[in-house]
């Protein structure tokens, strides 16, 4: 039985109390927290990481080997290049060759692309083996590693193949953010700001009052933003893991779909740009677009709409896009998972922290919001 690690001072544990409960720990120097999360029966672990992040994966590998587990290292391509069927097949082949069984597990070390793909491989191997995520980007910590959405892209679009597979635990070691390039950290702030708009306005206040601290891995402001954003995500997913509440009409709140705020347009832009734009940057633009759409549809007040671009720009996120034409973006949005038949469905705000669904918006409103998006700063 692995020993339970003593709490490190300054470490926060956020319990995810769903049908498969697990903890998200946030703090510094948490390398020893992975082992106890794996469970007592695990004999062998596949550690998946982008090849360029070997230095961050090695201490995790050493800790597992030091505890007597056998480790299979599986390097993945960088970033979005990992989220392909070819990479999934190669990983399944490697697990098969090594004879991985249900007493074995997966650990991911990397950004959201790595946790998405590693989570998908864990979800599909033998119909599901345990996975512990060690996110090393801000975006991975506050969003991708938590909540069990896993997946990859196909030629038709972003995240179109995947599954819900909750992790056995998530270790957010803030020390890993020190090597993260600033642009990647700022990209993660796109999802942080999203959490502020859909659920926790204190996040917006913290970002607006100290945008420098928000982007500084050594700042207590960033640590507080991580804790608050994880809490937002946890609160949403425990109520609607499989994203079905929006259709049950749960008091108008769209359930897990709320976390998709800004993502309908973001995923369309990412696809149009061949996945070269960072996800959090695309989400920032997507939120500006959908706030404008909500204004045009008479759903959201001017001050809250304008706050989107102001807050995002304060941390250096883009607020406009003038690439692919409106028809191309609209066609890409049609394959979004929120669509039903030919009808586009968007998460909009009716007020701050009041996410709701806007189904089948008027074509004139879509075009006006698109035009407004093209006027923003990149
Ligand atoms: N499953 C979900 O709920 C969910 C939520 C949000 C986003 N996502 C997905 O997450 C992905 C984006 O994740 P991301 O923004 O973390 O990007 P990413 O995983 O592509 O990582 C960005 C880059 O940073 C590098 N990197 C990671 N950690 C580092 C570190 N500590 N030091 C130096 N370099 C480091 C990576 O190798 C990569 O090159 C997208 O595919 C998105 O769809 C999933
Ligand atoms: O966890 C969720 O649910 C989210 O929607 C979080 C998003 O930030 C994330 O980008 C997610 O992968 C998008 O989901 P998708 O179902 O539109 O692929
Ligand atoms: Zn996202």
Atom of ligand 1 nearest to the CA of 150: 1
78 Cα–ligand 1 center, Å: 9
Q: What pLDDT, on the 0 to 100 scale, is given for residue 227?
A: 98
Question: Interface pTM (ipTM) of the complex?
Answer: 0.99
289 Cα–ligand 2 center, Å: 17
- Rounded to the nearest integer, the mean pLDDT of the chain is 95
Q: What pLDDT, on the 0 to 100 scale, is given for residue 6?
A: 55
| Ligand nearest, relative to CA of residue 236 | 2
Q: What pLDDT, on the 0 to 100 scale, is given for residue 2?
A: 42
Atom of ligand 1 nearest to the CA of 270: 43
Q: Evaluate if pTM is beyond 0.90.
A: yes
146-172 mean pLDDT: 97
Reply yes or no on whether the pLDDT at 1 is more than 50: no
Q: Is 82 annotated as a binding residue?
A: yes
Q: Is 165 annotated as a binding residue?
A: no
Q: What pLDDT, on the 0 to 100 scale, is given for residue 247?
A: 61
Q: Is 190 in the pocket of ligand 1 (CB under 6 A)?
A: no
Give domain limits for the chain: 12-179, 182-374
Which residue is closest in CA terms to ligand 1's atom 41? Answer: 113
Q: Is 267 annotated as a binding residue?
A: no
Q: Is 177 annotated as a binding residue?
A: yes
Q: Is 133 annotated as a binding residue?
A: no
Which residue is closest in CA terms to ligand 1's atom 35? Answer: 180
Q: What pLDDT, on the 0 to 100 scale, is given for residue 250?
A: 52
pLDDT tens for 314-371 read: 999 999 999 999 999 999 999 999 999 999 999 999 999 999 999 999 999 999 999 9
Which residue is closest in CA terms to ligand 1's atom 33? Answer: 180
| Ligand nearest, relative to CA of residue 120 | 1
Q: What pLDDT, on the 0 to 100 scale, is given for residue 5?
A: 52
Atom of ligand 2 nearest to the CA of 233: 1
Residues contacting ligand 2 via CB (< 6 Å): 143, 147, 149, 159, 191, 256, 259-260, 263, 337
269 Cα–ligand 2 center, Å: 15
pLDDT tens for 107-141 read: 999 999 999 999 999 999 999 999 999 999 999 99
Asked if 151 and 120 count as a contact pair (C-beta separation under 8 A), the reply is: yes
Q: Is 79 annotated as a binding residue?
A: yes
Q: Is 273 annotated as a binding residue?
A: no
Reply yes or no on whether the pLDDT at 248 is more than 70: no
Reply yes or no on whether the pLDDT at 246 is more than 80: no
Atom of ligand 1 nearest to the CA of 147: 3
pLDDT tens for 59-96 read: 999 999 999 999 999 999 999 999 999 999 999 999 99
70 Cα–ligand 3 center, Å: 34
Q: Is 51 in the pocket of ligand 1 (CB under 6 A)?
A: no
182-374: CATH topology is Dehydroquinate synthase-like, alpha domain (1.20.1090)
188-202 mean pLDDT: 99
CATH architecture of 12-179: 3-Layer(aba) Sandwich (3.40)
């Amino acid at each position: 039985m692995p020993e339970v690690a003593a709490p490190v001072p300054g470490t926060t544990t956020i319990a995810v109390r769903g049908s498969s409960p697990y903890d998200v720990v946030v703090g510094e120097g948490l390398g020893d927290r992975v082992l106890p999360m794996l469970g007592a029966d695990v004999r062998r672990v596949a550690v998946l990481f982008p090849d360029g992040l070997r230095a961050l994966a090695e201490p995790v590998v050493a800790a597992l080997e030091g505890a007597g587990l056998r480790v299979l290292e599986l390097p993945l391509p960088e970033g979005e290049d990992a989220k392909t069927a070819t990479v999934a097949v190669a990983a399944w082949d490697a697990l098969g060759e090594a004879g991985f069984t249900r007493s074995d597990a997966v650990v991911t070390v990397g950004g959201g692309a790595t946790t998405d793909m590693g989570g998908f491989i864990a979800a599909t191997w033998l119909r599901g083996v345990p996975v512990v995520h060690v996110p090393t980007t801000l975006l991975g910590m506050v969003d991708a590693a938590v909540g069990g959405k896993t997946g990859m892209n196909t030629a038709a679009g972003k995240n179109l193949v995947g599954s819900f597979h909750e992790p056995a635990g998530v270790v957010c070691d803030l020390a890993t953010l020190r090597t993260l390039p600033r642009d990647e950290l700022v990209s993660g702030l796109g999802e942080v700001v999203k959490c502020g708009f859909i659920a926790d306005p204190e996040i917006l206040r913290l970002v607006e009052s100290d945008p420098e601290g928000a982007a500084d891995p050594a700042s207590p402001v960033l640590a507080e933003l991580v804790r608050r954003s994880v809490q937002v995500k946890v609160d949403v997913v425990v109520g609607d893991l499989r994203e079905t509440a929006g259709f049950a009409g749960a008091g108008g709140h769209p359930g897990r779909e709320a976390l998709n705020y800004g993502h309908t347009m973001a995923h369309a832009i990412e696809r149009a740009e061949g996945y070269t734009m960072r996800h959090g940057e695309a989400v920032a633009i997507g939120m500006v677009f959908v706030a404008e759409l909500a204004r045009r549809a008479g759903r959201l007040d001017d001050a809250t709409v304008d706050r989107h671009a102001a807050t995002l720009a304060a941390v250096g996120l883009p607020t406009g896009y003038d690439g692919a034409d409106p028809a191309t973006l609209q066609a890409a949005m049609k394959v979004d998972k929120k669509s039903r038949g030919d009808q586009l469905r968007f998460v909009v705000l009716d007020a701050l922290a009041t996410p709701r669904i806007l189904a089948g918006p008027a074509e004139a409103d879509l075009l006006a919001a698109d035009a407004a998006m093209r006027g923003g700063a990149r």
